[in-house]
Structure 1
């Protein structure tokens, strides 16, 4: 049976995928090291936030299969997929749930990290914008959600292995090359050109800058000790 090569994933989507994976690993390693590495943990988390903003914008104005409107479906589409009646390309309706869950949790994690502290020497760039109690509360949630990320990542990797080893569907190579072999022809991804990329990149960069603490008033200097005479 002839196979058809379909352009599925554009370059920005692929770069986002692998950059996010690398930054999440770097953030986990740096937080486990602790100490001075916490500064890098904060930088990695801030970069992740920028990536997430880029992907959210790209999910609206990017190319065909990267758009949320294309792959985020309702329960009906999931039932069709589970019954073996789905024949699309890109994220399948069940895999879309994993994508949305990962984006939501990583967004929560990177956002709470902006306001967090480690009770020692590190504080997020927006920690001074909230009360100490609020920063401590958000820090607690930031630490607890770490285990949710581990679970979702493990589930994601397990799903990839299942498709590759048991269903004999290569879903890794398309995220490298951008093309997927299909038994029936599908329309190639369209849209998501240079203008869309620049807009998404600008909004991501603007978010990183705006959340860097540039608008947060620095704490007042400690009062000078007055001699008691």
Structure 2
């Protein structure tokens, strides 16, 4: 938590891995939705988008423990009581300013990660009862696969609601509170008071290794027999 921001000072907050993850996840979910709506030959690309989502989420979980200061879960996941108190203050427009995610935003990150993982994960076992099947459908019975397909569709509705709330929060902070969240997620910097902790240098090699591990883990999952 910091004092109110000073617009004359620009501080590094979001490292490149966080920003790349953010925009790739948004693009992957959007493309997965679009390709799923098209059906037919696009279903192969729909599944590739799902695999990408799983890889991104797994990488973000790793980065939440091994990434830069503001990328770590310990920095932005706060207790329910703390979060409720923040929400009450926000309703009165008296909330304190946070350099990284505020308490509500932090829990939204968790919700989006879980819903994205559940959406893509159920797709691995789903089938459309015509010609498209997930790569792990052979591990469950036909009836269970049909049920999981229903979950896959329901979870997407929940994901859409969470994305909508996230966008409303961004618009609120961007337009009403004057915080340049979108710009910050593009260039990684935010106007903050002097003395605010910076994200620090990006551990590029560590990030690349974790990304490779995440990709290898998902590849291994997809090839279970």
Pairwise same-fold verdict (TM > 0.5): yes
Match of 1:146 among 156, 172, 180: 156
Q: CA deviation at 1:192?
A: 5.1
Q: Does residue 209 of structure 1 match 2:214?
A: no
Structure 1 vs Structure 2 CA RMSD: 1.6
**Contact 1:117-1:127 at 8 Å conserved across structures:** yes
Task: Extract structure 1 runs of 4+ deviating beyond 4 A.
Answer: none
Match of 1:137 among 137, 143, 147: 147
**Helix, strand or coil: the match of 1:172?**
helix
Q: Does residue 110 of structure 1 match 2:120?
A: yes
Q: Does residue 10 of structure 1 match 2:10?
A: no
Aligned residues: 215
Deviation per residue, 1:200-227 (Å, 9 max, x gap) = 2122111221122x232xxxxxxxxxxx
Q: CA deviation at 1:177?
A: 0.4
Structure whose CA Rg is larger: 1
* 1:74-93 mapped onto 2 (5 Å cutoff): 74-82=79-87, 83=89, 84=94, 86-93=96-103
Q: Does residue 31 of structure 1 match 2:36?
A: yes
TM-score (norm 1): 0.88
**Contact 2:7-2:191 at 8 Å conserved across structures:** no
* 1:122-201 mapped onto 2 (5 Å cutoff): 122-190=132-200, 193-201=203-211
Structure 1 unaligned regions, length at least 5: 217-229
**Helix, strand or coil: the match of 1:173?**
helix
Higher helix share: 2
Q: CA deviation at 1:93?
A: 0.6
Deviation per residue, 1:65-88 (Å, 9 max, x gap) = 000011000024324534335332
**Helix, strand or coil: the match of 2:99?**
coil
The equivalent of 2:3 in structure 1 is none
TM-score (norm 2): 0.90
Q: Does residue 73 of structure 1 match 2:73?
A: no
Q: CA deviation at 1:133?
A: 1.6
